[in-house]
Amino acid sequence: MIDRPRRFGGWTGALAGLVAVTSVAAQEAPPLQVPAKSVPVPSDVSPQMAKIIGAPLRSNWNIQPKTGEAWKPVAEAGAAALAKLVPGMLERLKVKVERTTIDGVRAFILTPEEMPPENRNRLLVHVHGGCYVLNPGEAGLPEAIFMAGFGRFKVISVDYRMPPEATYPAAHDDAITVWKAATRMADPKNMAVFGTSAGGALTLAMVLRAKQEGLPLPAAIAPGTPMSDTTKVGDSFVTNAMLDNVLVSPDGFCDDGAKVYANGHDLKDPMLSPVYGDMHGFPPTILTTGTRDLLLSNTVRVHRKLRDAGVEAYLQVGEGQSHAHYIRDDTAPETRKVFEEIAWFFDRHLGR
């Protein structure tokens, strides 16, 4: 049994610094004092997912590189580690990948060994995550491989420019350049865009920008746990802090990554905080998050905004999962189910 707390130890108020940041509109009630917790790995997940959920907090979550040059070695070390996992993923999921350049933008083309007839005229565009500073090259591929493999779609994954090579709007420009090119390769009615975290935000931003520029829209999108609000508004930035073992804190590495990419550009611009964008006319959208995700609120807020705009929008939430846990291990049944759900949604909304 849990005793009702009447006094609090030294860590009370550890997150109190967030109050000033998140309470943009003053809400009168005093903050709730939540005691420290010892949180076990949930029993109702697969052994593979239990391993991901049970991992300690990301070791470098509180580094705060302030320049693109300072990010570079961090990104390179992370990418080298991730890239090693790619060949195994490609083999297990029977996906082939080739590097290419599309209208000057670096990209990869992923093709499943077997493509069902209904997917032969379909084409997906993928934008990877990593706080706009991480996962260059092959390191950005896991989610694209999972989608190509579990969904058996052809996928173009955009290896967009990041700091120190370039800052905002370079990644956005590269993504929209590839989108434009892709709409000449297939019928946009047969196409979808997807991505996780910064890639989820880019997915939403691509639709906002396509609307602005009068470009064809995709027939569906799948933003996974999108960084939809870089201004730190969202309840789970507080409630899931120090619980999400990937992003860990709203003041952690990802915040600095986004700021370095923004390079002074207003973070409330819907291009960087798409939850503030006008979502009328958006294509059907499937959103993915987890119960421990620091961006749980930023995902459900996008869902609500889409529904308010009359858009068909569908939400899936992974039990016990922190930020983007579903793009870690293709052998976890939870991973397969997330991508099968997205594939089901795409199949429902894409032409053939």
Residues 264-323 that bind its own copies (CB under 8 A): 291-292, 296-297, 300-301, 303-304, 307-308, 314-320
Per CB under 8 A, the list member of 167, 183, 197, 240 interacting with its own copies is 240
Instruction: Check: CB of residue 286 under 8 Å from CB of residue 222.
Output: yes
Of the two residues 108 and 314, which places its CB atom closer to its own copies in the complex? 314
* Closest to 202 (Cα-Cα) out of 162, 238, 234: 162
Per CB under 8 A, the list member of 70, 85, 109, 243 interacting with its own copies is 243
How far is C-alpha 158 from the geometric centre of its chain's CA atoms?
14
The minimum distance between CB 94 and its own copies, in angstroms, equals 24
How far, in Å, CA of 166 to CA of 162, rounded? 5
* Binding status of residue 228 toward its own copies by CB under 8 A: no
How far, in Å, CA of 186 to CA of 204, rounded? 20
Per CB under 8 A, the list member of 1, 117, 214, 264 interacting with its own copies is 1
The minimum distance between CB 253 and its own copies, in angstroms, equals 12
Strand, helix or coil at 215?
coil
CA dihedral 12→254→164→132, nearest 10 degrees, is -160
* Binding status of residue 6 toward its own copies by CB under 8 A: no
The minimum distance between CB 76 and its own copies, in angstroms, equals 24
Residue that has been written with the tokens 């291990």 in this structure:
329
* Binding status of residue 66 toward its own copies by CB under 8 A: no
Per CB under 8 A, the list member of 42, 78, 164, 216 interacting with its own copies is 42
* Closest to 234 (Cα-Cα) out of 270, 273, 201: 273
Per CB under 8 A, the list member of 40, 104, 117, 264 interacting with its own copies is 40
The residue count for binding its own copies (CB under 8 A) is 86
The minimum distance between CB 18 and its own copies, in angstroms, equals 7
* Binding status of residue 48 toward its own copies by CB under 8 A: no
181 pairs with which residues across the strands?
A: none
> What mask, x for binding its own copies by CB under 8 A, covers residues 155 to 194?
----------------------------------------
* Binding status of residue 63 toward its own copies by CB under 8 A: no
Count of other CB atoms within 10 angstroms of residue 221: 31
Of the two residues 109 and 243, which places its CB atom closer to its own copies in the complex? 243
* Closest to 146 (Cα-Cα) out of 172, 164, 128: 128
Task: Considering only the stretches 92-100, 107-115, 116-124, 230-238, report the one whose residues sit in contact with its own copies under the rule CB under 8 A.
Answer: 230-238
How far, in Å, CA of 255 to CA of 212, rounded? 27
Q: List binders of its own copies among 323-342 (CB under 8 A).
A: 337, 341
The torsion angles phi and psi of 281, rounded to 5 degrees, stand at: 85, 5
* Closest to 340 (Cα-Cα) out of 291, 288, 304, 296: 288
